[in-house]
Amino acid sequence: MNKTDFNMDGIEDSSNTISPSVDDIVACQFSNWYETFRTLPKDRFPRKTVTIKSIVIPLPQAFLDYLKTDGVTLPIEATNVSSLTAEGDDNSEWSDEDNDNEDAKEFSFPTLTEEIRAGIETLGGEVMPKLNWSSPKDAVWMNNGKLKCQTPGDVYVLLKSSDFIMHDLLHVFDNSIGEKLDVSYELVLRQWCNLYPSMEFRCFVWGKELIAISQRKHTEQFPHLVTEKMIIRSEIIDFFDEFIQKNSQGMKNYTFDIYIDRKERPWLLDFNVWGTQTDGLLFTWEELSEMVREPAELHVPSNTLLTNENPQIRVVETENEVRHDPLASYRAPIDTVDLASMTASDASKFEDFMKLCSKPSQEND
């Protein structure tokens, strides 16, 4: 990365970098925390699990090399993609045939493709993919605007089209403190859940204490959050005290994302590092840094509605507070979206258009 960096939510960051350690980054990768929170000891916790069922698949080096190649050429055994399937048609396939390039390289990962197919079936037929740290949410425009995948081809399209995935592969230790480590890369398939975006929150922890909570989808205003935010705050503090703080595996400074369901049960979605690599959402990192410089009483009895200042909770309370969507710059050009909708019944037309867009422009002599 250059001096102007992008954090894992797509925000351009030209401020002074708050750098995590290499150990912090490694601790936040999915396989380092998943099992701890997926299967909880019955004699210590009131719930058997607090995170979504997932499958972790080790990735071979040949596949990592494939992800780094240019273009979106799918493995020959995984060309069936949902984004090109018209209603009532289960046979639409992604085709990269190019008559002008008969020597185009073909890729094939039959073992991995079968593992992905089996994983999707085990998890109920729909999954959300990610690598060790990042999900390809910047590439959802290639997959009907969603991270939901139903075929190995869907997974490959998202991974292959994502800058965030490339960040995991090439830049994950940029601006970190300590000696860089070799990474064993993994594909994570998470069971697909229809989550209400208004009930996702990011929590900020410093010195093992919860200091701030932010509405996750800060690009919209949800009226119910304004009236319920202190109740939500109380639920999050209880969850942190009961599950997160006791199982943070030595991490002192970090962030974590949670979802609160209709039964008011929080679910752990992810861990992220404490630093400008992570989007502060409704907080700036200058504000968060200032909070940790000023000692404050962070804990009060958790069975009451909390009114003390820390941890602070912020939600979008008016339309004027709605923030710009950091992923907007990753969306497809509007003419591409229009073409995709007009050619839904003929996948080949859209594929031809995408191939034309991918070719370098040539000036006439």
Per-residue pLDDT at 104: 66
Q: How many other CB atoms sit within 10 Å of the CB of residue 119? A: 21
Write out the H or E segment, with its range, that includes residue 230: helix 223-239
More confident residue, 16 or 250: 250
The pLDDT assigned to 100 comes to 46
pTM reported for the whole predicted model: 0.80
Packed helices 347-358 and 334-342: angle between N→C axes, nearest 10 degrees: 150
What are 50-62's pLDDT values in tens digits?
Answer: 999 999 999 999 9
Q: Which residue has the tokens 């992810």?
A: 270
CB 281 within 8 A of CB 215: yes
Q: What is the pLDDT of residues 160-210, one digit of tens each?
A: 999 999 999 999 999 899 999 999 999 999 999 999 999 999 999 999 999
Decide if 98 contacts 104 (C-beta within 8 A): yes
Kindly report each contact of residues 327-331 with a partner whose C-beta sits within 8 Å and lies 24 or more positions away, as own/partner: 327/9, 327/10, 327/137, 327/138, 329/10, 330/10, 330/138, 330/139, 330/141, 330/163, 331/141
- Residue 315: which of 200, 229, 231, 194 has the closest Cα? 229
Alpha-carbon span 11 to 280, nearest angstrom: 10
Segment holding 356, helix H or strand E: helix 347-358
